[in-house]
């Protein structure tokens, strides 16, 4: 019954269902956690950017170390195809991975973070180039909407850090 209610709240939209299902997969299989998601206030909030509540819930469910990595991708324009290795190097250059190393290299930590974001549908394989990745338009909008939590934003920037305006 709870699962059906969550599906209804996603309005049958595949991306919302997939990302929320993958977030729920990380939870204990208990009615309590699923009910908390079903009863979340996020479902009732209006978003000026039209971001699906299911995507917001999936974002808020991310471990804290993944949130700035995803928000960094707000620099990518819609439909931008990126290389996993290049993105990990960008995360390293920004210092996002320095505290995640543990007993592994920063690069390995970055690859694990990337794979976790990919498994949660924050990234997807490019349809044009198998070795490259993209973000769905709604994920791109979500990244842009949460970027202010981590970065000072001064207008829209392209992937090279130049103002587009």
* Percent with pLDDT over 70 in the chain: 81
Q: Where are the domains of the chain?
A: 2-60, 67-149
Q: Which of 108, 71, 102, 62 is nearest to 89 (CA)?
A: 108
What's the mean pLDDT when you consider all of the chain?
82
Name which CATH class applies to 67-149: mainly alpha
Treating both helix axes as pointing N-terminal to C-terminal, what angle do 2-9 and 14-25 enclose, rounded to 10 degrees? 140
∠ at Cα 155 (42, 118), nearest 5°? 50
Of 9-13, 82-86, 112-116, which gets the smallest average pLDDT? Answer: 9-13
Compute the average pLDDT of residues 57-72.
93
165 band by pLDDT with thresholds 50, 70 and 90: very low
pLDDT digits (tens, 9 = 90+) for 14-33: 777 787 777 777 766 667 77
Q: Is residue 43 predicted with pLDDT exceeding 70?
A: yes
pTM for this one?
A: 0.78
Compute the average pLDDT of residues 121-141.
93
Query: In this predicted model, which residue has the larger pLDDT, 56 or 48?
Result: 56
């Amino acid at each position: 019954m709870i699962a059906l209610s969550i599906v209804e709240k996603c309005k049958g939209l595949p991306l919302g269902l997939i990302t929320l299902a993958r977030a729920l997969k990380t939870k204990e299989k208990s009615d309590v956690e699923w009910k908390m998601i079903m009863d979340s206030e996020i479902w009732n909030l209006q978003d000026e950017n039209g971001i699906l509540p299911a995507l917001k819930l999936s974002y808020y469910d991310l471990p804290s170390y993944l949130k700035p990595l995803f928000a960094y991708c707000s620099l990518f324009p819609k439909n931008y195809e990126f290389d996993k290795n290049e993105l990990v190097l960008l995360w390293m250059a920004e210092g996002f991975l320095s505290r995640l190393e543990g007993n592994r290299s920063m690069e390995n930590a970055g690859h694990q973070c990337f794979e976790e974001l990919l498994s949660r549908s924050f990234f997807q394989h490019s349809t044009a180039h198998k070795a490259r990745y993209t973000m769905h338009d709604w994920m791109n909008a979500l990244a842009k909407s949460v970027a202010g939590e981590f970065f000072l934003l001064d207008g829209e920037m392209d992937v090279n850090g130049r103002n587009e305006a």
